[in-house]
Chain A
Amino acid sequence: ILNVEQSPQSLHVQEGDSTNFTCSFPSSNFYALHWYRWETAKSPEALFVMTLNGDEKKKGRISATLNTKEGYSYLYIKGSQPEDSATYLCAFDNYGQNFVFGPGTRLSALP
């Protein structure tokens, strides 16, 4: 059974703070890792697809890195804003058969 973990489960930051959280996944037979952002009452929205060891992706103030050898990915948010408040999900792409999601990190960015 594939196990994907995320930490922390939740965190509160002040507006302007930078923060990061972790997704851990099996390091063997890696195919791809996806990051999603899920705001309350909305649909999960894709942020990044990470495929190669050492990948770094960036979208505005949000960036992500990937280490497939040790089985982790970091998501960074620079200068948090209240609109960044959401649950951030990572999903291990099981060779296209299905996505195995982590439990998510709930971020509250307070003004």
Chain B
Amino acid sequence: DIQMTQSPSSLLASTGDRVTITCRASQSIRTYLNWYQQKAGKAPKLLIYATSSLQRGVPSRFSGGGSGTDFTLTISSLQPEDFATYYCQQSYTTPQTFGQGTKLEIK
């Protein structure tokens, strides 16, 4: 299975900050990388698919990049509703696998 490793595991930030979360795959996954946001007690919500395509309705302050093994999720200016846990997911091979999550908390 492809292992997905996110860093950091947790992140303290303030409203208005620019933050970047990294996801590394154990082998190349080309650009088959998706990002999800999960708030406490809720299901994950798709933010970005295929590395950099913003899901409909997701604010443009979210962006994704990368290819091969290294990927990023960037939030350009944190809003209060962005404090949540973020997960990456590779869809290059079966079984699709997820990162362990990055918890974004208010400083």
Are A and B genuine complex partners?
no
